Structure 1
Amino acid sequence: MVVKSFKLRSGAEIPSIGLGTWALNGEEGYNAILYALKHGYKMLDAAYSYFNQDYVGKAIKESGVKREDIFIVDKLANSWHTAAEECLDITMKNLDCGYLDLWLMHWPSPLNHHGNDPKTPTLPDGSVDFEKNWTYVDTWKKMIEIQKNKPEIIKHIGVSNFSIEELENIINETGVIPEVNEVELHPSNNQQELYKYCQSKGILLVGYSPLGSSESTFFTNPELKEIAEKRGISIAQILLSWGIAQGWPVIPRSQNPARLSANLDLVDLTEDEIAKVTAIGNAHKRRFVLASWHTFSD
């Protein structure tokens, strides 16, 4: 049976599959989130910088699902690193959900809070406008302080898009290990070195973009198609099942009710099937999520 949850280092449990809420905007996005909650999703992956927290909060409230039955993740925006507590206050007002199960630093990239754009401020030459005299280590220290002072609001803290070097830096500077590192994870970007490091530290990797992207070749790959057809399920279901079998929760995103339901119907892959999916990914290595404000070490 496919595992339904993973344990954080603290002993708390996080569902093995959640709904990514990026680009789920307006009434259509609200309806997708509401459908997901009403049909079995137990985790929502949200973020201040998605600019849709009000719709996420509305769906939570109107779903009829008990708050304690939903694992809610939200993220500190890049341009709010120096105003983390204020960002949290706005987030809690928008979501109106009482508390966050997990609060993440979205990227290790402090951008100018008073810049010319709320998401990606730039300098006159077009380059990214970073905060001066402030680092992601400072941000991590602030998040630790906030969580310590507001344990009833922030149950757990972690990071997103962190490399081994960046994790080492915040751990060495503070002695506090994040419980989660949410990163891009799929067969073409399986991040095994990072996974092994995180395992050694008790950090749970959580995989966003588990299906790659619209540019990936997964959905036209004949070997994946063969595995899916033998199982009588979709390639998406194979990819999600592979991620959970690898040892991490997965966060797919969809607005299509049929796909939302199918993404919850996963299977136990055999060792041979897991090996085949891994080999397919290794033969077509690629990272799909790139950011002007961050350069990945790989």
Structure 2
Amino acid sequence: MPRQFSLADGGKIHAVGLGTWQLEGNQGREAMVHALKSGYRMLDCAFSYGNQALVAEAIEQSGVAREDLFIVDKLANTWHSAAEECLDRTLAALKTDTLDLWLMHWPSPLNHHGNHPKCPTLPDGTVDFEKNWNYVKTWQTMIEIQKRRPEVKRLGVANFGIKELEAISVTGVLPLVNQVELHPSCNQENLHKYCIQKGIQLVAYSPLGSTGSALLHDPNLKAIAKKNNATVAQCLLSWGVANGWPVIPRSSSPDRLDQNLDILELSKEDVDAISRIGKASPKRYVTAPWHTFEEIV
């Protein structure tokens, strides 16, 4: 099983990364320190998570050198029209001179001066989008920033479907990575095929299906896990890597963190069986009031 995947620019991205969403306080910092000491080298962060300073503390306490890490961060929805300032704040909070990968978190520019830092609303309660702005303009801005700023090594996007990827292709620059919800019940087959054709690497967030996922309790998946002397979570993560994309699980449990890093060599029979289990119960767990996803196919 691959421990890294190659990107279109010749760089490498780790097969397993640590999701930092909702890792907060002492428990969150301790989880990140444990993960880094256990061998995690890709940290998936975001401005909107509000814990970049905590990530910086964890890196410092872990003793892992910055050059050994692959740090991902994301431009927040309410900062599309102020992308460079968001980048500067991100670098300062993370106490780093570089981002290995900078993503547009969503193709959804929201009012930078609105009434909420994450999801501003209008008086009628609907989402307050940035006026006279769109995500294609954001992508062009990120391209221009990268040309001027060596701090940004690579550019990518998150939560983009084929429609959005086609729209930003007019800039002549495609993202190296597209991070999306991706697990057997939301297998993104059409998007995966498209990204392969375009040289875009899919990366899976919520690779276990998210909290309360039916996949974790599926009796057929439990049987596959038992046969492989593994957990269901390990089988789901290994399924993703076997299909060709990095996975970003999140946990604050030291035991689960260690287990999630242990990718299995699943048989083709098991990989196909997990795919069938997922297709039998299609489900997208992540929704957002500021974005409409394509149907699961």
TM-score (norm 2): 0.98
User: For the aligned residues, what is the CA RMSD?
Assistant: 0.6
Look up the SS of the partner of 2:74 in the other structure. Answer: strand
Structure 1: runs of 5+ lacking an equivalent: none
Which residue does 1:165 correspond to in 2? 163
Shift of 1:137: 0.4
> CA contact under 8 A between 1:39 and 1:261: conserved in structure 2?
yes
Look up the SS of the partner of 1:72 in the other structure. Answer: strand
- Letter of the aligned partner of 2:202 in structure 1? L
State the distance in 2 between where 1:63 and 1:252 align: 19
Look up the SS of the partner of 2:250 in the other structure. Answer: coil
Look up the SS of the partner of 2:157 in the other structure. Answer: strand
Which residue does 1:270 correspond to in 2? 267
Q: After TM superposition, list the pairs within 5 Å mapping 1:43-58 onto structure 2.
A: 43-58=42-57
Look up the SS of the partner of 2:43 in the other structure. Answer: strand
State the distance in 2 between where 1:218 and 1:297 align: 22
State the distance in 2 between where 1:186 and 1:297 align: 16
Which residue does 2:128 correspond to in 1? 129
> CA contact under 8 A between 1:42 and 1:71: conserved in structure 2?
yes
Q: After TM superposition, list the pairs within 5 Å mapping 1:22-171 onto structure 2.
A: 22-151=21-150, 153-171=151-169
Look up the SS of the partner of 2:124 in the other structure. Answer: coil
Identity among equivalent pairs (%): 60
Structure 2: runs of 5+ lacking an equivalent: none
Segments of 4+ in structure 1 off by > 3 A? none
Moved more, 60-69 or 80-89: 60-69
Count of equivalent residues: 295
- Letter of the aligned partner of 1:231 in structure 2? N
Shift of 1:292: 0.4
Which residue does 2:16 correspond to in 1? 17
> CA contact under 8 A between 1:61 and 1:97: conserved in structure 2?
no
Q: After TM superposition, list the pairs within 5 Å mapping 1:185-204 onto structure 2.
A: 185-204=182-201
TM-score (norm 1): 0.98
Look up the SS of the partner of 2:131 in the other structure. Answer: coil
- Letter of the aligned partner of 2:121 in structure 1? T
Cα deviations by residue, 1:140-164 (Å, 9 ceiling, x for unpaired) = 000000111012x000000000010
